[in-house]
Structure 1
Amino acid sequence: MRDPVDDVFVCKYYKWVVYPFQEAVKAHRETHNPEMYNRPETDLHVTVELNMEGEKKTRLLDNFTRTVGIPHRFDQGEIPSVAAFAKTQEIQKLAIDAGAQLVGGVDMIKKIQVGELNLNDFKYIVAHPEILPEMVVLRGLLKKKFPNPKSGSLDVNLGTAVEKFLYGINYTASKDEYEKDYGSVQTVIGSVSYLFLLLYDRE
């Protein structure tokens, strides 16, 4: 397809115009300012295209959901609930300081086993690797929530793991219905005004 030569053109006949990320954010800020759409706090949605081929091209990746930590927090509405497990009080304190709503060690595992404590209301369960052998008895109860390194819920840096699940971006990678080797992620990465401040207030 041809490159557009004018400022105004029919999109379906020309290549999409590709902007650097900073310019794209700036353009959205201009269109959403009070003089135009008047929605400066609107969410900025992104689509990330993925190759869903595995190590062998004949084997494709399944859809997956992950959470990625971000250096600067933004309002995503309700903060999810996180329970954290660690053996030592020192590491437990790191989880408490990071914002985990429930923190404990071996004693907490025993309470869960006998039904004194229920983790169903917690969206995420994180743990320090040292306590993993004691947590194995909870695998059947926790199922997919059971901490594992692949999801980042089993981490030696427990405080960082707690913060990631409390304030990070949760996303799902999904395969295309017809082109199975093509996948995409659609998620929100912040408000237009928030991202503009991050990108331009540092210059």
Structure 2
Amino acid sequence: MAAPMGRGLLWAVSAHCARHLFSRIAHHSAVVPSLVNMRISNRHYAVKTRKKSKNDTQKKTLESEPKQKKKHNRPPLPSEPTDDVYLTWCYQRQVYEAEVALDMLKKFQQLDFTSPNQHVYANITLDMAMDKKKTVEQFVGTLLLPYRYTDGTHKVLLFTENAEEAALAKEHGAALVGGTELIKPILDGEIQADFYVAVPPMVSKLSALRSTLKKKFPKTKDGSLSYDIPQMLSFFKVCHEYAVEDENSIQSQIATLDMPNDQIVANLDALIKDTCKYKPLSYGPFVTSLIMRSSTSEGLYVQFERFLPEGAVKEKVKVEEMEEKDSDSDDEEEKIREAK
């Protein structure tokens, strides 16, 4: 009696559990992939790679090329404001003649009650490019301004071992004169000068100072290496020095604000013409923009084309014509490619 009762209980439990058991199997069979129906490759050789077609390379080049931004046809900004108070970014940048800009700077000085003999600065931006890979090296220039704006003189040191040359240098105002005995004090920083000049026989003996003096090392290119001692000293005692900074800009004092306009313009003209000597005219104009300001005023953009050396404007026109021809030829080549 007990055996049939036990069998009945087992049958009831198995029948009840089968529902949950088979429902779980059916639930997981949809997730777990069946390995029975998977095809296994029987190949014992490598698959040949497909050759790249021209269409694939063209697609890659098109994807790699940056997308050109859509040009928005915006109306040009008005040239001159109609009111005394206006937003500068709503109008075209004002570019003045040099004389007009100087009159405005002097008016700013009167309105601001600042010093009338403050310095006038010329901020010049240069185009240092020559060829595709060649550029003009940063340089330090010196020149004699037509009108001096300071009474001070520079401290000039002359290298020579000749007693007669040393005496001649002292007569013409050299601050220091000596030979190789000055090398160690200069390296130690005990002796400093504004300019260093020398006679040619001393160059080979001063090689230890090249890394210290750098661009101030005596050389024939800037006139600091010569036998003409009086001429060197008279030039470097009163010369005006300027340098290229931040890769392509010159910020130089040219006058004081209380000087007449014609004298300030003459100094500006001399500075720009001397700067243009460092780049051949065949590469186009060297100067790209000019700003004049005083020590306490804002900068004013000035028209600089009149100060460029003769031939620079003509070369600029030639360069622009060559660029237009190149662009036209490129457009023709693109049309031919599209037609093909």
Fold-level similarity (TM above 0.5): yes
Provide the C-alpha distance between the structure 2 equivalents of 1:111 and 1:91, rounded to a whole number of angstroms. Answer: 14
How has the CA–CA distance of structure 1 residues 70 and 93 changed in structure 2, closer, same or farther, with 3 Å as cutoff? farther
Identify the residue that residue 149 of structure 1 maps to in structure 2.
220
Cα displacement (A) at 1:95:
7.2
Cα displacement (A) at 1:153:
1.9
- From the two aligned structures, give the one with the greater strand fraction: 1
Identify the residue that residue 101 of structure 1 maps to in structure 2.
175
Identity in percent: 21
Cα-to-partner distance string for 1:140-164 (whole Å, 9 max, x where unaligned): 1354232112333224654444344
1:57 pairs with one of 132, 135, 141: 132
Say if 2:123 and 2:250, in contact at 8 Å, map to a contact too.
yes
Structure 1 alignment gaps of length 5 or more = 177-182
Equivalent AA in structure 2 for residue 24 of structure 1: A
Cα-to-partner distance string for 1:76-121 (whole Å, 9 max, x where unaligned): 8x75421124669579647743x32124xxxx325447x6x75832
Identify the residue that residue 133 of structure 1 maps to in structure 2.
201
> How many residues are aligned here?
181
Cα-to-partner distance string for 1:18-64 (whole Å, 9 max, x where unaligned): 2222222222122213x64232111112111111113x231223333
Identify the residue that residue 30 of structure 1 maps to in structure 2.
107
Provide the C-alpha distance between the structure 2 equivalents of 1:151 and 1:112, rounded to a whole number of angstroms. Answer: 22
Which secondary structure does the structure 2 equivalent of 1:135 belong to?
A: helix
1:11 pairs with one of 88, 94, 110: 88
Identify the residue that residue 331 of structure 2 maps to in structure 1.
none
Equivalent AA in structure 2 for residue 151 of structure 1: D
Identify the residue that residue 190 of structure 1 maps to in structure 2.
255
**TM-score, L = length of structure 2:** 0.44
Cα-to-partner distance string for 1:121-143 (whole Å, 9 max, x where unaligned): 2231113xxx3123321121354
Q: Does 1:83 align with 2:157?
A: yes
Q: Which runs of 4+ in 1 moved over 6 A?
A: none
How has the CA–CA distance of structure 1 residues 102 and 52 changed in structure 2, closer, same or farther, with 3 Å as cutoff? same
Provide the C-alpha distance between the structure 2 equivalents of 1:92 and 1:19, rounded to a whole number of angstroms. Answer: 51
Say if 1:69 and 1:163, in contact at 8 Å, map to a contact too.
no
Equivalent AA in structure 1 for residue 147 of structure 2: H
Bigger relative contact order, structure 1 or 2, given CA contacts below 8 A and separation 6+? 1
Which secondary structure does the structure 2 equivalent of 1:71 belong to?
A: coil
Identify the residue that residue 43 of structure 1 maps to in structure 2.
119
Cα displacement (A) at 1:65:
2.6
Structure 2 alignment gaps of length 5 or more = 1-76, 266-340
Which secondary structure does the structure 2 equivalent of 1:125 belong to?
A: strand
How has the CA–CA distance of structure 1 residues 136 and 65 changed in structure 2, closer, same or farther, with 3 Å as cutoff? same
Structure of greater Rg: 2
Provide the C-alpha distance between the structure 2 equivalents of 1:3 and 1:195, rounded to a whole number of angstroms. Answer: 30
Aligned alpha-carbon RMSD (Å): 3.4
- From the two aligned structures, give the one with the greater helix fraction: 2
Equivalent AA in structure 1 for residue 254 of structure 2: I
2:233 pairs with one of 136, 140, 162: 162
**TM-score, L = length of structure 1:** 0.68
